[in-house]
């Protein structure tokens, strides 16, 4: 049973053969397949179906500000919800089209990320990515998330998506690190001290007991400011100095060319990369040296901004979805010295899982403001 927690109308019984084929459009070539892995049962329990996402009245829309979202969202609960959502996605039952984006010259992108995750949420996020915003005191990513009724399509809520985008990105990377990093990992390097650097500093220490956290940035003042938020964090003088000897390396930049070099990595390191909207964040040698894990194989078959620049030349059959690792249908780390790489592009299931948590808590507490449509 993958999950029987209230709020996830899914009970999936998976065979735990790590080399079986993946179901429903997620088959990976190159693996033997003596016994198919499959979802044997989809159980939309009546007790959960009796509590669907629904608004207080026809034509009413719940509005949740950023302050509401930050107060209502429990980060530890989010990590568990993200893990469940990744399993559901890799089962093949979610409807998550590749995101589309309108480029605003070389200044930014406006992206649309719709998604339906059965029992979790029907939602869409509009998000803008303008890297130069930090020069003006604005976040590089800004957005809104809309939640809709799964049964009739009625809009239920609109909420700030800027904080959700930031925290769920670092949160999903932390979920991947929890599954893939060595259990004895004690040194974390965070490359980049912007919003995502902060998100990773918030989430990664929740999945491993790091004794030392190194923060490096192209702006030393930003690195110093971020490091001040955690007692185990210190500033590293360069990306290389932060990476050498680190057990987990989290790359969170808006780089247009690689910031990481393969020769800096120790055996057994886990590399996480969430940047790369504008170019490759990781060098080709690092990608070639490790085993690559993704949210979805579309990261290799779709061009940026939907896909990842670093993965465009890879055969998608060589990639493993994190949801498969969590479900037990594909192996994760297979040796202490293996280099594991998590390459993120962001996926609507992450917004769906996080927005659902916020929505449910808001409804339970009577938070937010109802607007008439």
CA distance 321 to 293: 6
Residue 45 pLDDT > 50: no
Domains of the chain: 54-164+349-372 (3.30.1780.10), 181-346 (3.40.50.720)
CA distance 71 to 361: 10
Looking at residue 39, what is its pLDDT? Answer: 32
CA distance 113 to 154: 18
Q: Mean pLDDT in the chain? A: 86
Average pLDDT over residues 109-131: 94
For the chain, where are the E strands, in sequence order? Answer: 60-64, 100-104, 108-117, 121-129, 141-148, 155-160, 187-191, 212-216, 233-235, 248-251, 270-273, 291-294, 320-321, 340-343, 369-372
101 vs 72, which has greater pLDDT?
Answer: 72
Looking at residue 49, what is its pLDDT? Answer: 33
Q: Please count the helices (runs of H) and the strands (runs of E) in the chain.
A: 11, 15
- Which parts of the chain fold into alpha helices (H)? 46-49, 66-72, 75-91, 162-180, 195-203, 220-227, 239-243, 284-289, 298-301, 322-327, 348-365
Q: Half-sphere exposure of 170 toward its Cβ, with a 13 Å CA cutoff? A: 28
Which tens digit of pLDDT belongs to each residue from 267-284?
A: 999 999 999 777 899 999
Q: What end-to-end distance do the CA atoms of the chain give, in Å?
A: 41
Residue 37 pLDDT > 60: no
In this prediction, residue 32 has a pLDDT band, given cuts at 50, 70 and 90, of very low
CB 187 within 8 A of CB 246: yes
Query: Whose CA is closest to 278, among 101, 160, 106, 111?
Result: 106
Residue 114 pLDDT > 60: yes
134 vs 187, which has greater pLDDT?
Answer: 187
Of 38-47, 112-121, 127-136, the one with minimum mean pLDDT is 38-47
164 vs 53, which has greater pLDDT?
Answer: 164
CA distance 84 to 194: 28
Residue 185 pLDDT > 50: yes
| pTM metric for this prediction | 0.84
Which tens digit of pLDDT belongs to each residue from 1-28?
A: 333 333 333 333 233 233 233 323 333 3
In this prediction, residue 58 has a pLDDT band, given cuts at 50, 70 and 90, of low
Report how far Cα 329 is from the mean position of its chain's Cα atoms: 20
Range ranked top by mean pLDDT from 19-23, 52-56, 76-80: 76-80
Residue 90 pLDDT > 70: yes
In this prediction, residue 141 has a pLDDT band, given cuts at 50, 70 and 90, of confident
Which tens digit of pLDDT belongs to each residue from 211-258?
A: 999 999 999 999 999 999 999 999 999 999 999 999 999 999 988 899
Strand partners, 190: 215, 250
């Amino acid at each position: 049973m993958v999950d029987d927690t209230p709020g996830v109308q899914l009970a999936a019984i998976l065979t735990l053969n790590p080399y079986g084929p993946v179901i429903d459009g997620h088959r990976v070539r190159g693996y033997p397949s003596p016994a198919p892995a499959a979802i044997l049962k989809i159980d939309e329990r009546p007790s959960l179906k009796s509590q669907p996402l629904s608004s207080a009245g026809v034509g009413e829309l719940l509005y949740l500000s950023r302050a509401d979202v930050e107060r209502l969202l429990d980060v530890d609960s989010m990590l568990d919800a993200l893990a469940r959502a990744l399993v559901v996605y890799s089962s093949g039952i979610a409807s998550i089209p590749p995101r589309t984006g309108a480029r605003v010259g070389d200044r930014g992108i406006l992206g649309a990320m719709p998604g339906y995750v059965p029992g979790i949420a029907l939602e869409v996020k509009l998000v803008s990515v303008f890297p130069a915003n930090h020069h003006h005191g604005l976040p590089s990513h800004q957005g809104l998330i809309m939640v809709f009724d799964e049964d009739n399509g009625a809009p239920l809520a609109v909420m700030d998506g800027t904080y959700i985008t930031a925290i769920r990105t670092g949160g999903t990377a932390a979920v991947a690190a929890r599954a893939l990093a060595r259990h004895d990992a004690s040194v974390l390097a965070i490359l980049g001290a912007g919003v995502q650097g902060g998100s990773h500093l918030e989430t990664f220490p929740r999945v491993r007991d790091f004794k030392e956290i190194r923060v490096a940035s192209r702006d030393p003042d930003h690195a110093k400011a971020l490091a001040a938020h955690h007692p185990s964090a210190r500033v590293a003088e360069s990306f290389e100095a932060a990476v050498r000897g680190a057990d987990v390396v989290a790359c969170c930049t808006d780089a247009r060319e690689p910031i990481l070099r393969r020769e800096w990595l120790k055996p057994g390191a886990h590399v996480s990369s969430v940047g790369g909207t504008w170019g490759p964040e990781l060098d080709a040698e690092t990608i070639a040296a490790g085993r690559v894990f993704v949210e979805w194989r579309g990261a290799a078959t779709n061009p940026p901004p939907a896909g990842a620049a670093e993965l465009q030349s890879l055969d998608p059959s060589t990639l493993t979805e994190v949801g498969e690792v969590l479900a037990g249908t594909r192996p994760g780390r297979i040796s202490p010295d293996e280099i594991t790489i998590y390459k993120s592009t962001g996926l609507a299931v992450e917004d769906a899982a996080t927005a659902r948590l916020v929505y449910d808590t808001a409804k339970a507490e009577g938070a937010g403001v109802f607007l008439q449509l």
